[in-house]
Structure 1
Amino acid sequence: METGPGAERHSDDELATALEREVARITSAIPVVGTAAVPDAESEPEPERDAEEDDDWIGPPTQAISFEDLPVRRQMEGPQPTFSAWVGAAARPVPSPQPEPPAPAPPSRAEPLSFVPPELALRDSQPLPLLAEGPEPEPETEPEPETEPEPAAGPAPPVVPRIALAPALPDLPGTGPVVTHELGPIDATSARIDTDLHDDADDVHSTAPSPVASPRVALDETVLSGAEPVPAPLFEPEEADLEPSAVDRRVGRAARMFWLWFAGTSSLISIGVGATLFTLGLSLRQLLVATLVGVALSFLPLGLGTLAGKWSGQPTMVVSRATFGLRGNAIPAILALLTKLFWGAVLLWLAGTAAGSLAVSWGGAADRATPTAVALLAAILIAGLVAYFGYALVARVQLLLTIASAALISVMIAGTWRHVDLVRALAVPDALWTHVVTGAVLVFSYLGLAWAMSSAEVARYQRPTSSGGAAMLWATFGAGVPPFVLVSYGGLLAASHPGLADRLASDPVSGFVALGLPGWFPVPLLLAVGLSLISALVLTMYSAGFTLDALGVRLGRRWSTVVAGGPIALAGIVLALTVTDLDSVIRGVPTALSVPVAAWTGLFAAETMLRERRFHQPSLLATGGVYPDWRWVNLGMLFVASAVGLGLVSSDLPWLAWEGYLFRLLGIDPEAGIGTSNIGVVVALVLGLVTPLVAGIPAVRRQEQGVA
Structure 2
Amino acid sequence: MMKRQTPFALERRTIEHIPAAERHGKPWHQLALWFSTNVQINTLITGAVTIGMGLDLTWAIISIVVGNLVGGLFMAYHSAQGPQLGLPQMVQSRAQFGFYGAVLPSAMVVLMYLGFAVEGSLVAGQAIATWAHVPKIAGIVVFNLVLLLIPLVGYRLIHAAGRIVAVISGVAFLALFVWLVPHLPSDPSGATTHSVGAVVSAMSVCVAWQVTWAPYVSDYSRYLPEDTPTRVTFTYTYLGSAVGGAGTMIIGAMAAAVNSAAVNSDAIGFLAGRFPSVSGLLVAALLLGLVPAGAEGPYGAFLTVLSAVSADGRVRSTAAARAIFVTCFATVASVLAALAGGSLLATFQNITLFVLALLVPWSAINLVDYYVVRRGHYDIPALLTKDGRYGTCNWWAVLIYLVSIGAELLFINSGMYVGPLVGFLGGADLSWLVGLVVGGMGYYVCAKLIRDRRPGPVARPSEPSALPGLADPVRGDHQA
Q: Scaled by the length of structure 1, what TM-score is found?
A: 0.60
Residues 8-407 of structure 1: pairs in structure 2 closer than 5 A = 222=1, 229-357=2-130, 359=131, 365=133, 368-369=134-135, 372-407=136-171
Partner of 1:512: 271
The answer on whether the counterparts of 2:196 and 2:428 sit within 8 Å (CA) in structure 1 is no
* Aligned: 1:409 with 2:160: no
AA partner of residue 466 (structure 1) = T
Structure 1 stretches lacking a partner, 5+ long: 1-221, 223-228
CA distance in 1, matches of 2:300, 2:478: 28
Secondary structure of the structure 1 residue equivalent to 2:13: coil
Q: Residues 701, 240 of structure 1: CA spacing in aligned structure 2 closer, same or farther, 3 A cutoff?
A: same
The answer on whether the counterparts of 1:309 and 1:460 sit within 8 Å (CA) in structure 2 is yes
Superposed CA RMSD: 2.5
CA distance in 1, matches of 2:189, 2:342: 31
* Aligned: 1:502 with 2:256: no
Q: Residues 387, 518 of structure 1: CA spacing in aligned structure 2 closer, same or farther, 3 A cutoff?
A: closer
Q: Deviations over 1:64-87 (max 9, x none)?
A: xxxxxxxxxxxxxxxxxxxxxxxx
* Aligned: 1:641 with 2:404: yes
CA distance in 1, matches of 2:179, 2:254: 15
Residues 533-612 of structure 1: pairs in structure 2 closer than 5 A = 533-552=290-309, 555=315, 557-562=318-323, 563-579=325-341, 581-610=343-372, 611-612=374-375
CA distance in 2, matches of 1:287, 1:624: 49
Secondary structure of the structure 2 residue equivalent to 1:457: helix
* Aligned: 1:619 with 2:382: yes
Of residues 444, 451, 466, the one that matches 2:228 is 466
Q: Deviations over 1:562-601 (max 9, x none)?
A: 3144133323233234325211211223322321211111
Secondary structure of the structure 2 residue equivalent to 1:588: helix
Secondary structure of the structure 2 residue equivalent to 1:521: helix
CA distance in 2, matches of 1:247, 1:268: 37
Secondary structure of the structure 2 residue equivalent to 1:453: coil
Q: In the TM superposition, what is the alpha-carbon distance from 1:651 to its structure 2 partner?
A: 3.4
* Aligned: 1:476 with 2:235: no
CA distance in 2, matches of 1:390, 1:493: 34
CA distance in 2, matches of 1:289, 1:519: 32
CA distance in 2, matches of 1:591, 1:429: 22
Partner of 1:526: 283
CA distance in 1, matches of 2:394, 2:8: 40
Q: Residues 559, 686 of structure 1: CA spacing in aligned structure 2 closer, same or farther, 3 A cutoff?
A: farther
CA distance in 2, matches of 1:505, 1:682: 29
Q: Deviations over 1:301-333 (max 9, x none)?
A: 311211222211111110111111122111111
CA distance in 1, matches of 2:376, 2:196: 42
Secondary structure of the structure 1 residue equivalent to 2:228: coil
The answer on whether the counterparts of 1:275 and 1:502 sit within 8 Å (CA) in structure 2 is no
Q: Deviations over 1:505-559 (max 9, x none)?
A: 443234436xx63422322321232111121111111111111111116545434
The answer on whether the counterparts of 2:298 and 2:329 sit within 8 Å (CA) in structure 1 is no
Secondary structure of the structure 1 residue equivalent to 2:15: coil
Q: Deviations over 1:379-411 (max 9, x none)?
A: 323322211211122211211111211122223
The answer on whether the counterparts of 1:244 and 1:314 sit within 8 Å (CA) in structure 2 is yes
Q: Residues 559, 316 of structure 1: CA spacing in aligned structure 2 closer, same or farther, 3 A cutoff?
A: farther
Q: In the TM superposition, what is the alpha-carbon distance from 1:235 to its structure 2 partner?
A: 2.8
Q: Deviations over 1:223-275 (max 9, x none)?
A: xxxxxx54434333211122111322211221110111121211133333223
Of residues 406, 429, 441, the one that matches 1:690 is 441
CA distance in 2, matches of 1:352, 1:635: 38
CA distance in 2, matches of 1:353, 1:699: 54
Structure 2 stretches lacking a partner, 5+ long: 458-475
The answer on whether the counterparts of 1:548 and 1:564 sit within 8 Å (CA) in structure 2 is no
The answer on whether the counterparts of 2:412 and 2:429 sit within 8 Å (CA) in structure 1 is yes
CA distance in 1, matches of 2:319, 2:360: 29
The answer on whether the counterparts of 1:284 and 1:428 sit within 8 Å (CA) in structure 2 is no
CA distance in 2, matches of 1:627, 1:557: 26
Partner of 1:677: 428
Secondary structure of the structure 2 residue equivalent to 1:258: helix
Q: In the TM superposition, what is the alpha-carbon distance from 1:638 to its structure 2 partner?
A: 0.3
CA distance in 1, matches of 2:266, 2:139: 16
Q: In the TM superposition, what is the alpha-carbon distance from 1:460 to its structure 2 partner?
A: 0.8
Q: Residues 252, 678 of structure 1: CA spacing in aligned structure 2 closer, same or farther, 3 A cutoff?
A: same
Secondary structure of the structure 2 residue equivalent to 1:425: coil
Identity rate, percent: 19
Secondary structure of the structure 1 residue equivalent to 2:111: helix
Q: More deviation in 525-534 or 539-548?
A: 525-534
Q: Scaled by the length of structure 2, what TM-score is found?
A: 0.87
The answer on whether the counterparts of 1:271 and 1:490 sit within 8 Å (CA) in structure 2 is yes
Higher helix share: 2
Partner of 2:472: none
AA partner of residue 351 (structure 1) = A
CA distance in 1, matches of 2:386, 2:43: 43
Q: Residues 436, 416 of structure 1: CA spacing in aligned structure 2 closer, same or farther, 3 A cutoff?
A: closer
AA partner of residue 164 (structure 2) = L
AA partner of residue 508 (structure 1) = A
AA partner of residue 201 (structure 2) = T
CA distance in 2, matches of 1:585, 1:351: 15
Q: In the TM superposition, what is the alpha-carbon distance from 1:602 to its structure 2 partner?
A: 0.9
The answer on whether the counterparts of 2:97 and 2:395 sit within 8 Å (CA) in structure 1 is yes
Q: Residues 419, 450 of structure 1: CA spacing in aligned structure 2 closer, same or farther, 3 A cutoff?
A: same
Q: In the TM superposition, what is the alpha-carbon distance from 1:461 to its structure 2 partner?
A: 0.6
Q: Residues 430, 676 of structure 1: CA spacing in aligned structure 2 closer, same or farther, 3 A cutoff?
A: closer
Partner of 1:631: 394
Q: Residues 320, 231 of structure 1: CA spacing in aligned structure 2 closer, same or farther, 3 A cutoff?
A: farther
Of residues 447, 454, 459, the one that matches 1:701 is 454
Secondary structure of the structure 1 residue equivalent to 2:46: helix
Q: Deviations over 1:598-644 (max 9, x none)?
A: 11111111112113343221111014433222223221110000011
AA partner of residue 433 (structure 2) = V
AA partner of residue 419 (structure 1) = H
Q: In the TM superposition, what is the alpha-carbon distance from 1:486 to its structure 2 partner?
A: 1.9
Secondary structure of the structure 2 residue equivalent to 1:243: coil
Secondary structure of the structure 2 residue equivalent to 1:452: coil
The answer on whether the counterparts of 1:592 and 1:646 sit within 8 Å (CA) in structure 2 is no
The answer on whether the counterparts of 1:442 and 1:591 sit within 8 Å (CA) in structure 2 is yes
CA distance in 1, matches of 2:157, 2:308: 25
CA distance in 2, matches of 1:596, 1:426: 34
The answer on whether the counterparts of 2:377 and 2:456 sit within 8 Å (CA) in structure 1 is no
AA partner of residue 146 (structure 2) = I
AA partner of residue 322 (structure 2) = T
CA distance in 1, matches of 2:19, 2:145: 28
Q: Deviations over 1:641-666 (max 9, x none)?
A: 0011122213333xxx5x52x43xxx
Secondary structure of the structure 2 residue equivalent to 1:326: coil
The answer on whether the counterparts of 1:343 and 1:450 sit within 8 Å (CA) in structure 2 is no
The answer on whether the counterparts of 2:118 and 2:334 sit within 8 Å (CA) in structure 1 is yes
The answer on whether the counterparts of 1:328 and 1:629 sit within 8 Å (CA) in structure 2 is yes
Secondary structure of the structure 1 residue equivalent to 2:453: helix
CA distance in 2, matches of 1:292, 1:306: 21
Q: In the TM superposition, what is the alpha-carbon distance from 1:293 to its structure 2 partner?
A: 2.0
